[in-house]
Amino acid sequence: MGKPVESLKDVTIRFAGDSGDGMQLVGNELANTSALIGNDIGVLPDYPAEIRAPIGTLPGVSGYQLHISSEDIHTPGEKYDALIAMNPAALKMNIENLKPNGVLIVNLDSFKARNLQLARYDENPLENGSLDKYQVFSVDMTALTRNALIDLKLSSKVADRCKNFFALGMVFWLYNRNMDHAVSFIKTKFAKRAELAEANLLALKAGSSYCEMTEQFATSYEVKPAKLPPGKYRNLTGNTAVAMGVIAASQKSGLPVFLGSYPITPASEILHELSRFKNFGVRTFQAEDEIAAICSTIGAAYAGALALTTTSGPGLALKGEAVGLAVMTELPVVICNIQRAGPSTGLPTKTEQSDLMQAMYGRNGEAPLPVLAASRPADCFETAYEACRIAVKYMTPVIFLSDGYIGNGSEPWPVPRVGDLPEIPVEFAKDAESFAPYLRDEETLARPWAIPGTPGLEHRIGGLEKDAVTGNVSYSARNHEYMTTMRARKVEKIANELPKLEIDGADQGELLVVGWGSTYGTLKTAVERKQAQGKSVSRIHLRFLNPLPNDLGEVLGNFKKIVVPEINSGQLVRLLRDKYLVSAISYSKMQGLPFFSSEIETRIDEILGE
């Protein structure tokens, strides 16, 4: 007879260990397996901010959090149901978020005097009763892994690196996960090193077998598949979704993709992903610095490519002057900023929403451009696609905002039908007699796109102010004011095609919660819980931050109070106060972490006077 299985609606699991322990690898594999089973998932990869911090220290702890559910979910969870801690530092950094009676699996072999000292423990927490409120399973993972691989005659160092898959095997057993995908993954990843593939497979199976055979584990759990809308799904990260959105826009528009990029955390994965698709006409250029990256992108746009550059906050600062050049030349360039905690180098692996003001105003002179923000990993596809469409239609650079939480996070993505994607028509100038480089379309105010080398379409564009029609250099005061106004009006016209805001809840009432970017899932969860309690609270979420939707002012005016939660010091709230003269309340968090839904719920109660 097998051990009993208990059914759960959802579960939040956290892997934690040193940055070299492979926590991201096994966490991601558990996420992929759960997505294939049909669970809805939300993940939060949590990388250390230091590159290879000393082993066993608190700054070197790497974590991967996964929320698995049989229902529709929007966050990676808050308190953990299970914590797998590979060393004392991982335990210390994460234990306060483990639920009472939660499952705590620790690698007993790592709880030696030296590691306890590095983690700043005065005494062993496994022996002093401080963990009594949890279900503690102390497992000799290192020794058991070595024993499982003894016939392979591997060095201790190589064998020890397989203990992450031993831990994954334990979790697979504990939550009734099928190992088929993990087996296939290991064989593919280590295809060129057969001995490593065999070692990790043995470790995976040994972890599962240990739970089945030992008396420590009396019960396992299952989370049934979620009832998601029918369709074809794949699990993907936000950064991968950006790459997919750009490729889709390329196929729809018929334009080849050019990416000019300088590697920077957490945006580099977009460069890595796009570089795999040369067969789709994608050209990737790893530049020597951020300035070369944006300048090459401008050149590609001038030559008729669907051109983009990827970066994070420090890189966007370096690109500032060249982005102004793209505004002046009115070329379709997409600038993807995957935000991180600053200023300066800041916390490069931690999330923040602190670049909104930089996106809006971080250029010299009057240089407005459209700004869009994705709300979750799967939404990065649609938002990146829309950024490309807007850039081409209005002949303007566009800033696409994501952040480390969205870019590294993943969720099931319903693969769209190509026919359902909006069209991206492209019309290059060809008629030499009617052509002028700044002769504008009446509807969009976009200037014509002329490919260099087209007979009779020789023209000038550049950083010096241009004549309103000919593109010749102009020092006329009135012409400068006119061109500045036209560039701003062109951006403002985009608002005319934006759909009406979707209001989650009543269209008027006591409190409106306004969100943008990665706060989407947390705010949605918190507001829905408060609505279920009968509270007068509604929610809107903004994808377009410049221009803002035409009906936003009317929506804001229908509520007595407005709160704007942001992972910054309050940037969108300043824009709303300035434009609409509303006394919106700022609620900020700057810890390198996303909001918890419970934090939002508490703030809602405070504002409502409860």
Task: Please determine, for residue 375, whether its predicted confidence score (pLDDT) is greater than 60.
Answer: yes
CA atoms of 68 and 171, how far apart (whole Å): 13
Q: What is the mean pLDDT of the chain?
A: 96
From CA 276, how far away is CA 274, in angstroms rounded?
Answer: 5
Closest by alpha carbon to 394, among 446, 437, 357?
446
pLDDT at residue 319, as a whole number:
98
Confidence of residue 610 (pLDDT cuts 50, 70, 90): low
**pLDDT range class, residue 132, cuts 50, 70, 90:** very high
Nearest to 131 by CA among 102, 151, 159: 102
pLDDT tens figures, 72-128: 999 999 999 999 999 999 999 999 999 999 999 999 999 999 999 999 999 999 999
Q: DSSP assignment, residue 522?
A: H
For position 584, what pLDDT does the model report? 97
Please give the average per-residue pLDDT across 385-413, as a whole number: 97
Instruction: Yes or no: say if 522 and 594 are a contact pair by the CB < 8 Å rule.
Output: yes
Q: Please give the angle made by the CA atoms of 142, 148 and 149, to the nearest 5 degrees.
A: 90
Q: What is the DSSP letter of 596?
A: P
Rounded CA Rg of the chain: 26
Please name the amino acid found at residue 55.
Answer: I
> What is each CA distance from 604 to 31, 314, 539, 608, in whole angstroms?
32, 34, 12, 6
Model pLDDT, residue 49: 83
Q: Are 221 and 359 within 8 A, CB to CB?
A: no
What is the predicted pLDDT for the residue at 576?
Answer: 98
Helix spans in 494-536 (H): 520-532
Say what the pLDDT of residue 52 is.
77
Residue 357's pLDDT is what? Answer: 98
Residue 575 has pLDDT above 80, yes or no: yes
Kind plus residue range of the DSSP H or E element containing 282: strand 282-286
162: closest CA among 206, 104, 192, 210? 206
* Alpha-carbon span 257 to 251, nearest angstrom: 9
pLDDT tops 80 at residue 1: no
Token duo for residue 550: 């035409």
| Strand pairing class (398-403; 371-373) | parallel
CA atoms within 13 A on the CB side of 543: 19
d(CA 502, CA 504): 6
Residue ranges of domains in the chain, CATH in brackets = 5-223 (3.40.920.10), 234-420 (3.40.50.970), 427-497 (no CATH), 509-607 (3.40.50.920)
Cα distance between residue 284 and residue 281, in whole Å: 10
The pair of structure tokens assigned to 308 is 């983009």
Amino acid at 56: G
Chain Cα centroid distance, residue 554: 31
Q: Does the structure show a pLDDT above 90 at 472?
A: yes
| Predicted local distance difference test score (pLDDT) of residue 383 | 98
Residue 448 has pLDDT above 70, yes or no: yes
Q: What's the pLDDT tens digit per position in 161-187?
A: 999 999 999 999 999 999 999 999 999
pLDDT at 456: 93
Per-residue confidence band for 229, with pLDDT thresholds at 50, 70 and 90: confident
Each residue of 523-555: pLDDT tens digit? Answer: 999 999 999 999 999 999 999 999 999 999 999
Closest to 174 (Cα-Cα) out of 218, 112, 144 = 218
pLDDT band at 215 (very low <50, low <70, confident <90, very high): confident
Handedness of CA 205, 207, 208, 210 (dihedral sign): positive
Distance (Å, whole) CA 384 – CA 399: 10
Per-residue pLDDT of 147-166, as tens digits, reads 999 999 999 999 999 999 99
**Tell me: the pLDDT tens digits for 335-354?**
999 999 999 999 999 999 99
Determine the pLDDT at residue 3: 84
Q: How far apart are CA 447 and CA 426, in angstroms?
A: 13
Three-state SS for 413? strand
Percentage of the chain lying above the pLDDT 90 cut: 95
Is pLDDT at 409 greater than 60 in this prediction? Answer: yes
Beta bridge partners of 339: 403
Classified as helix, coil or strand, 411 is strand
- Residue with tokens 């829309």, as numbered in its chain: 386
Cis peptide bond N-terminal to 547, omega within 30 = yes
